[in-house]
Structure 1
Amino acid sequence: MNKKFIRVLGLGVGLFLAGSLSVNAQKVSFNGERLSLKQAFEKIESVSKYKIAYNTSQLDVNKQVVLNQKNQDVLQILSDLLKGTNCVYQVNDNYIVITLKDDEKVKKIKGTIKDSAGEPIIGANVILKGDATVGSITDIDGNFDLSVPSNATLQVSYIGYNTQDVPVGNKSFLNITLKEDTETLDEVVVVGYGSQKKVNVIGSIASVDSKALESRAVPDVSNMLTGQMSGVTITQESGNPGQDAGTIRIRGVGSFGATPSPLVLVDGLPGSLSDLTPADIDNISVLKDASSAAIYGSRAANGVILVTTKKGKEGKARIIYNGSVGMSQATELPELAHSYEYAEFYNKAIGTETYTPEMIQKYRDGSDPDNYADEMYLDDLLGGHALQTKHELSVSGGTEKVQYMVSLGYLRQNGLLDNNYYNRYNARVNLGAELAKNLKLQVRLSGMTSDRHEPSTPGSLDIGGFKGIISNAVRFPGLTPTYLQNGEVGLGPKLQGTPVAWVDCASSYREDYDKFKNNIELSYQPIDGLTLKILGGYNYTLSHVRHYRCDMILTGDKSTGPSTLSDEMKRTVYKTFQAVADYNKSFGKHNLAALVGYTWEDEGQRTLSGSRNNFPSDDVPFLGAGGADGQTNGGGGYDWAIQSVFGRLTYNYDQRYLFETTMRYDGSSRFPTDSKYGFFPSLAAGWRISEEQFWKENENLSFINNLKLKASYGILGNNNIGNYPYQSVYSLGQEQNYVFGGVYTQGAAVTTYVDPGLKWERTRTTDVGIETAFFNNKLTFNASYFYRKTTDVLYKPAASYSSIFGLSVSQVNTGELENKGWEFEIGHQNTIGKFHYHINGNFSIIDNKVLTLGMGNVTQNNGMVGNGSDLFIGYPMQMFYGYKTDGVFLTDDEVGDWYDQTAIAKGSKAGDIRYVDITGDGKVTPDDKTFLGSRIPKYTFGLNFGGEYKGFDFSVLLQGVAKVKGMLSVYAGHAFYQEGNIQKWQMENCWNVQQDNRYPEYPRLEIMSNAGSNNTLTSDFWVLDASFLKVRNVQLGYTLPEHIVKKFGSTGMRFYVSLDNPLTFKGYRKGWDPENTSNNGQYYPTMSTYTLGLTLKF
């Protein structure tokens, strides 16, 4: 409701004074002040005898005016001020009352809203057009009443119906009939090389529009898709700036030989989601089954992601700015021991007083930090906050003949480590022009440049860059200082400094990318229904990687080794040409679409690298400044090409009976001559039962708007096998050298057997599904069952085959696997009064199973057939293979009463893990290993919901997985591994001889070597449930009313607060993210980000 403010001085008396009282004209002067209407009234009151009363719900008193009158009558000034408003004034003696004009005066209006069948619509919105704060909703009989100005126009809306404007005029009662909204039925979905009406699509396609990506602080677009679609699993395993992209798997993991990643196409050309700024994206479509993806043939076995960028539209220039600033922190970190805690528990683990009480007290009180430090390396490195900023600006518009969209984007993502940040700059120009009648041109130009920075280790300490730094921050106890009291660098645990010192030194890793992607498309429509298109694309990528490791000097002038620099440049050029003919025609109720095309693609890369040592200064890290001793140089490159012909035939009768067939014939240079070409077809059919006449005539079924059954089958390929793996390669080395004629001669030999008949991996996919919509599309439900069988999977056979061939054996097409499962999606949207809300959920069940390894089939002693580690026939990939357990021994005497487990764990004692004999032979041996679970989740789910009310909006996105396993080992899972650190959960939950706890979270403490111990064997003691539910995003926004933003020349202004990854619900180890598959602590934690943002439109 509007707040009404009425200023009255003696108004109660003045309004009833006789109008015959005379008022003498009064003249006043002003000197050109610019002020609000309210301030102008106050000025007039201060220099005249009048008191002015008004109602703020009828008059915008914040309107800016200018008082510049000279010796002018007050009433004339008032008349001028009220021009352009809907108000007039009335004078009663010394009082002036401002009211609405007669045609603006409020009147009560009643009415009824019904549908085309004459049924009342309950809950329809009725608002005053131009002022959404004045409104009502219809009751159970479709009735409403409202007080509005007599010249008002009402805006009537309801989910599933077209919005309608109704002038009030001189009526007091309105009968309004709303028409069903057919736009939902006409909604278009992007498919391969075109688009189709959503209701006619038979394939399994999921879509996300630009609205779902707006205002998210997540830097990488891939992570914005998390939880949004069924059958699509996205795993984010790192929060490192510039390397925090999610790993995308569509309907399971499709290969254990070739890369199982989906094909990503941006405006028809191969691209990366990580290179995009969200503001440029109009739509993302994910093609999940063979019917939708087969048109991409040999690269579609693991799904296809189609990204369509925004285009300009006819109309005046539209400017949109979106800016945000956020603060990030680690979602969680393991809590490590203080030095005094480490010392106390180390004594318990080793059974002697290695650390005396006096030493432990010094660690505790910090009295001698140079010799008894209490450092927390991990907290110092990753326990802080990082700033993140993002700016996106776009301008779009055009005429009937030419449309344009120009955008700029900038992202600055700081990391938790020092000298750890990422900059990305984006620019895009999309132009559309009608060159002549039926001849159109599309030009898409985009560029992205980025620089990513990480700290690194000094000198000869090469432990894997920042990952090694983090891993060692988990590993090392904080017993040694990073810096001494005199400022010198401490020796550290291994006489090489500490992880904190490594980050602080001049060592660095920098990665620069410059990417330019351009394509030009020309389309011509020679006859009605036929469109001919040609497209040429050119992508250019230049990358530069520079890795510098300084010579860090520790206390006592100890050097960590000579400074080194490695430099690598890569230039990659991709070119493509596409020609497509697309024909669409309707003959009565017969609708036909045919598409044929040809594509050619070529990519080449050239690499140049070099390295040098002993640089005179950290300030000149250029190759030319290094010493020549030990210098190296290298180079290389590759080229590949693919050409294809493809086609699609689509037919529907009366939008009831739907048929589609697709084919693609690919030829790739990566394969040998006899298997260079592959044919990939698909066939699909659908039936929209809801369009049948018997359905439409049945009133009991009228609440079901859409019911479609669909099925498809097709064959897809996978050519992500690397370049020319069928070619034999000669090896050079000492083993190949020989003596000939008494002379030692360098030789070359083929040392690896390669399969000259290498061929495509093929995936045969079957998909059946149902799509439904209820209550004028307010409720939707879709379900699908899919079965994917991949054959000819590339696999490197067991080592035993090397003895047969006399050579090591490279990959051959010997494997088979399957992915099958169910997908469910449900959506609901509605409007209650002025509150509009939506709820969308998805749930997937995916079973992954290895069917055969072919030459890799090795029967274990326990009867399981597989490679002996993570691939076994009849089980999912990425499985854990180990022992079942039953708690720990409580006493040494219990060891003798248990199964004989000396074959795997000699010298077991109280507190050690009890391994279970599953073969029943009375002892525990490697034959008792079994399946313990898989890193591939069986269940994935997502839920997003939100609403809007009077300018306020909110949204929440939840995502999770279930029936999935994870494991922590070495430094992350085992205390005192290689005399490493101990975590709080291990201290609090380890076995204690004084406690009668058969099932502790951690067995007895012990000091472990690199080989581990009896208690570190892979078993269900360490393989844990990695299920989780994450709150991926919470957002609250407020859009200012239109009449306010107009004063700033804006058409829209929204403020928002966004929280990404604020909460995780799990049963995994404290401090560790179950989403990360690293088991040794060598990973960068994912980030929780809190963002403030602004969106401006002009």
Structure 2
Amino acid sequence: MRYKPLLVKMMATAVLLLIAISFTEHVLAQTAKAPVTITGKIVDEQTGETLPGVTVKVKNTTRMTSTNLAGVYSIAINNPQEVLVFTFVGYEPQERAAGSLKTINISLKPTASNLNEVVVVGYGTQKKQFLTGSVARANLEAFHDAPDANFVQMLQGTVVGLNIGQVNVAGQTPAIQVRGASTLNGNTTVLIILDGIQYNGDLQSINPDDIATIDVLKDASATAVYGAQAANGVILITTKKGKQGKTRVTASSSYATQTPTQNLKPLDPDAYQEHVRMLYYQQAYLAPDYTTPDPTFNLNLHLDAASRANAAAGNSYDWWGNSTHLGHMYDNKVSISGGTDQINYLMSYNNTNQQGFIVNDLFKRQSVRVNLETKIAPWWTAGVQSFATFVNKDGAEPTLADIIRFSPFVVPFNASGDLLQNPDNTVGLNPFLSQYVDDIERNDYFFANFYTDIKFPFMKGLSYRINYGNNYRDTKQYRSSKYAQNGLGEAYKNNTFYNDYTLDNILTYQRDFGKHSIETTLLYGSIERKNQNTNADARQFTQLTLGYDGIQQGAIQLVSSSAYKEALAYQMGRVNYKYDNKYLLTGTVRRDGFSGFAQNNKWGIFPSLSAGWIVTNEKFLKLPWLNYLKLRGGYGISGNQTNRYASLSTVSSSAAYVFGDVSTPAFGQQQTAIGNSNLRWEKTTGKSLGIDFEVLHSRLTGSVDMYDNITTDLLYNVAIPYATGYSIIATNIGKLQNRGLEISLTSKNISSKDFDWTSTVNFSTNSNKILSLLGQDNNHDGVEDDLIASNLFINRSIGTVYGYQTAGIYQLADKDIRTGYFPGNYRIVDQNGDNLITPTDDRVVLGRTEPAYRVSLLNTLRYSNFTLTFFLNSIQGGKNGYLGASSVPLVLNDNTVRWNYLSALNYWQPNNPGGTQPFSVTAPAIAPTIYSDRSFVRLQDVTLSYRVPKKLTDKLHLQNLSVFASGKNLATWTKWKGWDPETNQALIPDGRPVLKGASFGLNVSF
């Protein structure tokens, strides 16, 4: 029993221990459930900048918060096992277990998203995610190594809504259009802003390698900052600057070959003779079907005299082969850049030498750039962006149309080797007369923007910038030819000098007040442009030894000169407002004055308002797959500048009087256009809606834009009764609508350590419609009259095709051939059934020249050190759209027998009843123009590059070394029969080929 007290003690001890354990567990449980606050700061991994608005969420709960303006957050957790999730638009999400930490600082890594990209918006910059207007940035990297002499070619199909035409001349700047046509007779030029300054020089003068970014302002709310000159869109070009760090030298060199995309050639001697035989099918073949050759037909008797004589002598000449050759292009570029915390600099040199497919289609460019910026004080920056470009286009081409037309049996030289003035013994001039000349064509461009930027230290957020830009252009066109003026000789010198200046004063104030952010921009500026031209021309030389340097030796001497001066003044105010990084508002008002406008309408006011809503920054919309969603809309008015003399009366010189019995009339001046002191600005009012989004952790990004523009006060030359003493008056008429849809999608299809594949698809559709013209209803039917003579129709597009509908070609056996028509003519549809074909009753709308839609696909694949990009571009006409004139009718006469034709022409004849081109022995009463669809798909750009591994470049003391092969216009799929569907040139002699090319080169930096 002595153990009983011990047992009691042990039991008591155990109970107490159990009570203690239970109490401890209870205390620990209570402690775990007590919230613990975690704080921290979130920054950008690359820049170290704090990130306001980052969402911080406790995983698998509804508890969340966001960082403040200083990038700081604070959130409570219930236990150490909980996980914090950090997400922010444009950055990769990150998770972190809470554990026992009370401070968790995070560095977020930017994703492939470009929402944090800063784009140029005109007189300032803005982050892409906060834009309220339609602004697109061109992808220059993918086309950096393409064989393009002109940087505009790099933009073809790459920016949705930006329409770039084809080129078929060395160095040529293609046609540029933003969102289709918005005027009838007004200016159609897109406004170019280079480093903040309006640039009126040819874009061939800009070295493509100097360009850092290209931004396109498309809708009225974005373009309104440029007011009276922005109705056709704005392209903002920003050139490169040096970066802080050691001096960096980059260089590239490439060589490209260029050949026609279409292998079109004139008929060779054998085919030419068969062509003549076809023209005389009624004699060359036996009736009635004219398919059996007539053995008595002597072809030589039907050749023209010159061809017959040369054929008998065994002479022939390859006009095409001696006027063309393999095109090529050399391109060499070098730049030196660097900087410190006080100064940065970039200097570059470019040498481009392009020789086109046509002999003497030459383009040589040498360009030098100096961009320099220095910090005078911590709050004061000054700099200059400047370049000089010297373009050489010396040499003149042969006349290509005549090269195609001349018979292969006609030779250009006589027995002594001299050019024959008229090789075919007619008035037809030798096409080499335009080539065998002494020709100089030089364009020298000089540009500089001097600027200073002051951030006032006494008021945070207030800055003042002055831009003073200068453009100079000196053009020389000198030529002398002993063959001109029917062999009497001619020489001339034409000198044109252009210069302008731009002075902009820009005051900007930017501050954040809690969740409110405001940026105000005020602008006052002016532009002045001057142009002078002098021409000295002399004719009839006894000798041309001194050429254009001996003009005084000509018997007839002519001198002319011209000049103009114009000025613009403008003021602009813009306010960007942002609340809580969710609600965006931009308002702009610009006032423009232009000396070229009418006396009573020198000034115009152009307002705009746009708004945006970043929906994903709302707490109620937190979807794991939706990273970013912004809705935006805008309304604005932009203007279109008219010709500087449009509001003034104009005169022209012509033969006007006969005195007495003198047979030669005296010249006099006649009034042509009457002045209009009330001529107004053409105004385009635009409404737009847009969506920007990113999903699946930014693997898919895109934007959708819809716009509807109405242009009023259209500038148009209206014909007036000649009894007034004038023929036209420039006035404001009618109304034009322009609307469209644009979709751009970029997907990151595969992203791994060794292999990446991204794709970008652009799709756009645009249509225009004439809503009103003169407002006349002469038929009293309640419908406004069309201007048929001007091919303008109410409720139809500017590019309406109005003509005769056809139903094939009349055949020999047809019994219903109308009077005035013959076998081989087009069968014209009688629209009203009156058994007559008349222009007033039987013409109908056949379609339009504008396309239905444009679509492009860019793929970029990276494997290890290899990168492959290929770009497909397409324009589609849809139903009766994107039409081009495609008929080349032929009628038997002296010229058609004498001329040669392209071998691709498929003419009708009795033994070729399926021929698509009309031919008849006698001209028809009406020869209608046939239109065909120009739709195409083009493999436009392909580039394969290899970057030498870093281990090897380090041994070579290089920063980068890469080699590349690139192709341009490698394949085109189209049903169009002609030179090229984009150039809209049928199988006519005046056409010229678009070139495809292959280039090889290297890029190196050290």
Which TM-score tier does this pair reach, normalised by the shorter chain? 0.7 to 0.9
Counterpart residue identity of residue 705, structure 1: N
Aligned to 2:842: 928
Runs of at least 5 residues in structure 1 that lack an aligned partner in the other structure: 1-114, 120-157, 165-175, 457-465, 553-558
Pick one of 1033, 1052, 1055 that aligns with 2:941: 1033
Shift of 1:886: 0.9
Q: Cα offset for 1:377?
A: 2.2
Q: Partner of 2:323 in structure 1? A: 381
2:446 is paired with a residue of what secondary structure?
Answer: strand
Residues 632, 623 of structure 1: CA spacing in aligned structure 2 closer, same or farther, 3 A cutoff? Answer: farther
Provide closer, same or farther for how the CA distance between residues 578 and 682 of structure 1 changes in structure 2, counting only shifts above 3 A: same
2:778 & 2:964 partners in 1: Cα distance?
A: 58
Distance in structure 2 (CA, Å) of the matches to 1:616 and 1:860? 68
CA distance in 2, matches of 1:895, 1:922: 11
User: What's the secondary structure of 2:358's corresponding residue?
Assistant: coil
**Structure 1 residue 1006 corresponds to structure 2 residue 920:** yes
Picking from 545, 560, 572, the partner of 2:477 is 545
TM-score when normalising by structure 2: 0.82
Which of the numbers 796, 799, 807 marks the counterpart of 1:875? 796
Q: Which amino acid aligns with 2:162?
A: V
SS of 2:394's partner is: strand
In structure 1, the partner of 2:239 is 309
**Alignment partner of 2:981 out of 1074, 1077, 1095:** 1074
Structure 1 position 616, deviation (Å): 5.5
Secondary structure (helix, strand or coil) at the match of 1:423 reads strand
What is the Cα deviation at residue 513 of structure 1? 1.0
**Residue 270 (structure 2) aligns with:** 340
Correspondence 1:1097 to 2:1005: yes
Deviation of 1:667 after TM superposition, in Å, equals 0.6
Per-residue deviation, residues 968-1021 of structure 1 (Å, max 9, x unmatched): 3558999997443233343xx4334356x5x64233x3368xxx6457322xxx
Taking the aligned partners of 1:845 and 1:500, their CA distance within structure 2 comes to 43
Q: Partner residue of 2:564?
A: 638
Query: Matches of 1:581 and 1:835 in 2, distance apart?
Result: 47
List aligned pairs for 1:400-415, cutoff 5 A. Answer: 400-415=341-356
The answer for the alignment partner of 1:981 in structure 2 is 900
Select 1:953's aligned residue among 852, 861, 867: 867
Shift in alpha-carbon separation, 1:751–1:774, aligned structure 2, 3 A: closer
Q: 1:267 aligns with which of 195, 204, 223?
A: 195
State the Cα distance separating 1:729 from its structure 2 match. 3.2
The equivalent of 1:990 in structure 2 is: 907
Secondary structure of 1:572's aligned partner: strand
Distance in structure 2 (CA, Å) of the matches to 1:332 and 1:974: 28
Question: Aligned to 2:444, which of 514, 535, 544?
Answer: 514
SS at match of 1:347: helix
Partner residue in 1 for 2:40? none
Worse-matched range after superposition: 730-739 or 372-381? 730-739
* Alignment correspondent of 1:525: 455
Q: Deviations over 1:855-883 (max 9, x none)?
A: 79988999972232532222222332210
After TM superposition, the structure 1 stretch with the greater mean CA deviation from structure 2, 472-481 or 1037-1046, is 472-481
- The match for 2:371 among 430, 437, 448 is 430
SS at match of 1:302: coil
Give the CA RMSD over aligned residues. 3.4
Instruction: Read off the aligned partner of 1:267 and give its amino acid letter.
Output: D
Match of 2:700 in 1: 779
Per the alignment, residue 228 of structure 1 pairs with 158
CA–CA distance in structure 2, aligned partners of residues 974 and 253 of structure 1: 41
Q: Which residue of 2 aligns with 1:1024?
A: 932
Structure-1 residue corresponding to 2:956: 1048
Q: Distance in 1 between matches of 2:297 and 2:256?
A: 45
CA displacement at 1:485 relative to structure 2: 6.7
Amino acid at match of 1:245: T
Distance 1:472-1:116 versus aligned 2 partners, 3 A rule: farther
Aligned residues: 883
| 248, 251, 261: which one aligns with 1:331 | 261
Query: For residues 265 and 370 of structure 1, what CA distance do their matches in structure 2 show?
Result: 63
The normalised TM-score by structure 1 is 0.75
> Are 1:520 and 1:537, in contact at CA under 8 Å, matched by a contact in 2?
yes
Secondary structure of the residue aligned to 1:326 is strand
For the pair 1:246 / 2:164, whether they are aligned, the reply is no
Counterpart residue number, 1:298: 228
Distance 1:571 1:941, change over 3 A: same
Instruction: For residue 562 of structure 1, report the CA deviation from its aligned partner.
Output: 1.6
Query: Cα 1:501–1:572, aligned 2, differ >3 Å: closer, same or farther?
Result: closer
> Deviation of residue 567 (structure 1)?
1.4
Instruction: Note the alpha carbon deviations across 1:294-327, whole angstroms, 9 max, x for none.
Output: 0000000000000000011111001110111111
Q: Is the 8 A contact 2:826 2:927 kept in 1?
A: no
Residue 502 of structure 1 aligns with an amino acid whose one-letter code is L
**Alpha-carbon distance between aligned partners in 2 of 1:587 and 1:471, rounded to the nearest angstrom:** 69
Cα distance in 2 for partners of 1:321, 1:717 equals 42
* Alignment-derived partner of residue 940 in structure 1: 854
Greater mean deviation of Cα atoms: 416-425 or 291-300 = 416-425
Cα distance per residue 1:187-207 (max 9 Å; x no partner): 211111111010110111111
Q: Give the structure 1 partner of residue 17 of structure 2.
A: none
Alpha-carbon distance between aligned partners in 2 of 1:859 and 1:1048, rounded to the nearest angstrom: 83
Counterpart in 1 of 2:732?
813
1:12 alignment counterpart: none
| Mean CA deviation greater in 204-213 or 527-536 | 204-213
TM-aligned CA deviation for residue 537 of structure 1 = 1.4
Distance in 1 separating the partners of 2:543 and 2:1002? 45
Any conservation in 2 of the 1:290–1:712 contact (CA below 8 Å)? yes
How far, CA to CA, are the matches of 2:785 and 2:1005 in structure 1? Answer: 63
Q: Which residue of 1 is the match for residue 537 of structure 2? A: 611
- 1:822 match: 741
Report if the CA contact (8 A) 2:825-2:920 is conserved.
Answer: no
Instruction: Report if aligned partners of 1:264, 1:273 keep a CA contact under 8 Å in 2.
Output: no
Q: 1:1027 to 1:648 in 2, by over 3 A?
A: same
For the residue of structure 1 that corresponds to 2:283, the secondary structure is coil
C-alpha change, 1:1013 and 1:860, in structure 2 (3 Å) is farther
Q: CA, structure 1 residues 821+680, in 2 after alignment: closer, same or farther (shift >3 Å)?
A: same
Give the percent of matched residue pairs that are identical in Structure 1 and Structure 2: 27
Report the secondary structure of 1:186's partner residue.
coil
The structural deviation recorded for 1:751 is 4.1
User: In the aligned structure 2, how far is the partner of 1:550 from the partner of 1:937?
Assistant: 47
Pairwise CA distance, 1:290? 0.8
Distance 1:366 1:746 in 2: 45
Q: Residue deviations 1:372-393, cap 9 Å, x none?
A: 54434234323x2122101111
Q: Distance in 1 between matches of 2:93 and 2:784?
A: 67
Tell me which residue corresponds to 1:448.
Answer: 389
Aligned partner of 2:966 in structure 1 is 1058
2:73 is matched with which residue?
none
Please state if 1:289 is matched with 2:219. Answer: yes
Q: Tell me the distance in 2 between the aligned counterparts of 1:813 and 1:506.
A: 48
> 5 Å matches for 1:693-704?
693-696=619-622, 701-704=623-626
Cα-to-partner distance string for 1:88-139 (whole Å, 9 max, x where unaligned): xxxxxxxxxxxxxxxxxxxxxxxxxxx99889xxxxxxxxxxxxxxxxxxxx
- Measured after TM superposition, the shift of residue 655 of structure 1 is 1.6
8 Å contact kept, 2:276–2:302: no
Q: What letter is aligned with 2:368?
A: A
Residue 965 of structure 1 aligns with which residue? 883
State the Cα distance separating 1:732 from its structure 2 match.
Answer: 5.4
Whether 1:849 and 2:769 are equivalent positions in the alignment is yes
Q: Contact between 1:470 and 1:499, CA under 8 Å: does it hold in 2?
A: no
Does the Cα contact within 8 Å between 1:975 and 1:982 map onto a contact in 2? Answer: no
Deviations 1:223-280 (A, max 9, x none): 11001011111112x42223x2110111111212112121001001122432211110
Hey, what's the Cα distance between the residues in 1 that align with 2:154 and 2:701?
23
Q: Does the 8 A contact of 2:470 with 2:501 survive in 1?
A: yes
Partner Cα separation in structure 2 for residue 966 and residue 445 of structure 1 = 42
> Aligned letter for 1:708?
K
Which amino acid in the other structure matches residue 884 of structure 1? Q
Q: Is the 8 A contact 1:977 1:1007 kept in 2?
A: no
Aligned partner of residue 323 in structure 2, secondary structure: helix
Change (3 A) 1:982 1:1015: farther
